[in-house]
Structure formats: structure tokens, C-alpha cells
Copies of this chain bind each other. A is one copy, B any other.
């Protein structure tokens, strides 16, 4: 479970706190979410932590319909090339639906598809 060491990164408080929070929440989070949840750490440090985690593939960007970028843990279970995310219009959380099979798309052959990112927007079970 030591994601940090496994990625060749130093184990620091901030990094462990960020990973812990992602694990605890299990939803996609924006920088602002972390800033609010972990006020012990500097905004800038959190930006840098996210950037570092992206570089080391610990996180991936979640496509969202708002202006803010969200991130989610890259679990090995995920196929990195077809994400399905659900964004709840009520509670504004975005979750990765790893269990859902993303349908394959057929495009004209001139297109070369690298990844597929499906965002479903609606009301989640909790807010229902």
C-alpha cells in the first residue's frame, strides 16, 4: 500500500495526507477541495503535490463539466484508457465508475483514439 515509495517519491506528511484523503473520499477532488480539507498544508504545496502525483501517474485528471479540474487516484484496476465518471449535479461530487463497462465507440478509421473519457451527469444514489 505504500504508493509513494513504490513511485519513487519521498514519504512526506503532506503527500500521505493527500493520498489518505483521496482514499477516504473515493471521489474525484479538485485542488480547492484539498485546500479546504487539509488546511495544514500550503496551497502551493498542494498544487505541487498534485503535479508530482500526475507526473508519477498516481493521479489522473478527471474530465468535469465545470471549470475546475478534478483528480482521482489511478488504481491499477483502472484501464487507463477508458474512464467512466459520474458527476452528481446535487452534491457536485465526481466518482469513478470502475465497475461500469464503457462501450466501445466506432469512429471513421482516420481517427486514432487513444483514450475515451465518458462523463455522466445526473443525480447519484446518495442524493436521490
Contacts and interface: CB of A to CB of B under 8 A. Distances in A.
A51 interface: no
Nearest to A83: B119
Contact of A119 (B63, B103, B111): B63
Nearest to A125: B110
Given A97-B107, A103-B105, A105-B103, A122 B118 contact: no
Interface in A7-62: 61
Contacts of A120: 105, 107, 111, 113, 115-117
**Interface of A, helix, strand, loop or mixed by DSSP:** loop
Interface string A86-97: 100100000001
Interface of A: 61, 63-65, 67, 69, 84, 86, 89, 97, 100, 102-105, 107-108, 110-125, 128
A114 B121 contact: yes
* Top 3 closest pairs, chain A to chain B, by CB: A103-B103, A110-B125, A112-B123
A124 B121 CA distance: 26
B108 A125 contact: yes
Nearest to A126: B110
